[in-house]
Amino acid sequence: MLFWTVFASYGLEWALSRVLSAETMRGRMERAHRRNARRLATGFSRLRGVFIKMGQVLSVMGTFLPTAYGEELEQLQDHVPPRPFSEIAGRLQEAFGDDALSLFASFDKEPIAAASLAQVHRATTLDGRKLAVKVLYPGIERLIQRDLAVLRSLLPVAKRLFPISRVERNLDQLEAMLSRETDYTHERDNIRRMRRIFEARNDVLIPEVVDELTRGGVLAMSFEEGIKVTDLEAQRAHGIDPESVARLLVEAYFVMLFDHGIFHADPHPGNFLVREGPQLVVLDYGAVEEVTQALADGMKTVVLGVLTRNDDQILTGLERMGFVAEGGDRELLKKVGREYLRALGGIRIDDFSKIDRNVVEKLTGYQQIRGQLRQVMKSVEYPEGYFYVERTLALLFGLIGQLAPKTGLPGLVLPHASKVFARGLVMVRPKPAPEAPPAR
């Protein structure tokens, strides 16, 4: 009903566009976007599960969406209501039996964090070690399958409204991501993999899995203390320069991407803590993705094209990434790219933590496709794997903007990018998956 209400709202505006002036319709459409974005934010929060996750994704992946959607859906990034402990106890009993809590010296019933699929509780082991215990919501697997079926039923309508070639790839990749995020064997292996990547460094810290208390939908890890990455006042009070934290975060991503071919695909502020040094504590490994060689090479080519203001090179990079649909209008895309470069040249950002709506629209390229949206969409398809890359880049852009408002992500990336391009670094392919843990 939620989606049909939104579709009907736009259907009414489309009908009115036949009789009202273009100027009147611009104002009506802006109000319709805001109204429908709020409907989705409220509805997704009520429906929970997949819909909260989808709202989070849409809030940072709105390249083809009006800015109202990103602004309204952003609330789903932080404000996810927790489940009562009676539900969580059911998952613990499912994993460890009726006397599950006897395996812990203590287990706090109030969660320290709640997300769309699970929540985290503090606990201690019988020998006194502090734990963070991530518990998957009971029945979430069935709920995901039901919700995905609803979304797939809406695909024919969505494809008519947004005629991007292979738009169903977004839903396929969302389904794959949710499957991995509800598989704690997968997350445990991701944690071990990341610990190996950063084992020689003392400035990037990864939690340690407690195997004997990890089973089914329960993942127990060492509890890591630290300052929330967006609490700049607390960082400065401890003698930590937030911009040095931003530099460390960008460096960690370059190590993941270009040395190991993988990346943490959920750089949400709640997933990072900071300690003196600075040291960066990285949490939540449900979304760790591999980057394909085509995406890596294409991204480098696009960045070089932007730096050299070469629209041909940008289009070549987009083609390598898989963005240009078969039979797509390359000249139209080149024209849009040229207009986008011109718009970028006029952007001056003094504070990346406070970017107004006009700048956001220029950065997303929305102004360049307005009026020719459907034609552009027909020439574009979503590359395999870009779902995760775009989400990660958008989240990093916002987070780095808060930590280093004068420099922003572009300014911190350039020194690393220049080194990578200068030595023609070839991305190392991902290492094999870790061996299974010893039987308990």
What is the set of active-site residues? 266
Cβ neighbours of residue 245 closer than 8 Å, sequence gap 6 or more: 229, 235, 274, 278, 280, 403
User: Is the Cα torsion angle 31, 162, 117, 390 positive or negative in sign?
Assistant: negative
DSSP assignment string, 243-305: HHHHHHHHHHHHIIIIIHSEEES---GGGEEEETTTEEEE---S-EEE--HHHHHHHHHHHHH
Collapsing DSSP to helix, strand or coil, 226 comes out as coil
The DSSP output letter for 324 is B
Contact 68, 33 (CB under 8 A): yes
Using the structure block, give the residue that is written with the tokens 């203001």. 309
Pairing type for strands 118-125 and 113-114 reads: antiparallel
Measured between alpha carbons, how far is 252 from 203 in angstroms, rounded to an integer? 10
Q: Which residues pair with 272 in a beta bridge?
A: 282
What are phi and psi for residue 63, nearest 5 degrees? -55, -40
Contact 377, 162 (CB under 8 A): yes
Measured between alpha carbons, how far is 288 from 418 in angstroms, rounded to an integer? 25
* Count, residues in the chain: 440
Tokens of 51: 């819909």
- Cα-atom radius of gyration of the chain, to the nearest Å? 23
Give CA separation, 63 vs 59, 167, 363, in Å.
Answer: 10, 13, 9
The CB density around residue 366, as the number of other CB atoms within 10 Å, is 17
Q: Which residues pair with 113 in a beta bridge?
A: 120
Cβ neighbours of residue 57 closer than 8 Å, sequence gap 6 or more: 174, 387, 391
Closest CA to 220 of 440, 410, 15, 397: 440
